[in-house]
Structure 1
Amino acid sequence: MNDTINTAVINTGRLGSRVLSASSLASDDVYNPKGEKLGSIKELMLDIDNGKICYAVLSFGGFLSLGEKLFAVPWSALTVDTENKRLVMDTSEERLQNAPGFDTDNWPNMADATWEQSVHAYYRTSI
């Protein structure tokens, strides 16, 4: 996990608006609210049309990257915990194990509308 999450306050007139560097999130660990580690962030997927993060690719399971499974988690399913320097996702390890996933050599077409709908439905997030 990274030692720091870089934050900067934006002068937007809204208290608490923040900007984080992408490198501060890469390789960060993801936990559930119970404090159980769910995995680590491998990649952040950007929507180039609006410049926002749409998915965090989470690595789960395996040993030394062998047998690990990857999951494209909608960014809206995660919250940044700056105090503990990690990301939090409100799900159980069991539910994550059953989530739609993929391996490192077979990434899904994340631009496919059917794929997008199924992933958002699984994580109960809006598109």
Structure 2
Amino acid sequence: MTHGDKSLVAANEVSGTAVYGADDSKVGTIDRVMIDKTSGKVAYAVMNFGGILGIGGDERPVPWETLTYDTGLGGFRTSITEAQLNDAPAAQEGWDRDRDWETRTYQTYGVTPYWI
């Protein structure tokens, strides 16, 4: 039996994980992940950003494909900028059931939607 680095993580353990930009500066924190019930794929990480010590920030769902885990940082790395987060469609009530909203969001970040 081989024991290597733990690559599996419980969804609730992702909450609170820092997200870093290309320059290693902290961009935000993951609040929760959204999983497609049918496919089992992680669709979004709902990210808090722009606040001070987690207070007063904004929240944006970002496509999971825009994040990669960096063991050296102990958090996720992304090429998303704060300007992109500010320009992204805000999560209104029902956003997670609105395919038009999802399409605009995926277009904002330039990645292929999880349902395709």
Deviation at 1:108, TM superposition (A): 4.0
Amino acid at match of 1:34: D
Kept in 1, the 8 Å contact 2:66–2:111? The answer is: yes
Pairs aligned (count): 109
| TM-score for the superposition, normalised by structure 2 | 0.81
Deviation at 1:69, TM superposition (A): 0.8
Hey, what does 1:45 align to over in structure 2? 34
Amino acid at match of 2:62: V
Kindly indicate which of the two structures has a greater share of residues assigned to helix: 2
Hey, what does 1:112 align to over in structure 2? 98
Pairs within 5 Å for 1:94-109: 94-102=83-91, 106-109=92-95
Q: Gaps spanning 5+ residues in structure 2: where? A: none
Partner of residue 32 from structure 1, selected from 15, 21, 25: 21
Deviation string 1:49-99 (CA, Å, 9 cap, x unpaired) is: 111211000001234555321000000111111222100110222222222
Change (3 A) 1:46 1:116: same
| Shift >4 Å, 4+ stretches | none
Distance in 1 between the 2:95 and 2:83 partners? 25
Identity of aligned residues (%): 30
Deviation at 1:46, TM superposition (A): 0.9
Residue 20, structure 1, aligned to residue 6, structure 2: no
Kept in 1, the 8 Å contact 2:45–2:64? The answer is: yes
Amino acid at match of 1:122: T
RMSD of aligned residue pairs (Cα, Å): 1.9
Kept in 1, the 8 Å contact 2:33–2:44? The answer is: yes
Change (3 A) 1:107 1:89: farther
Change (3 A) 1:40 1:85: same
Change (3 A) 1:64 1:36: closer
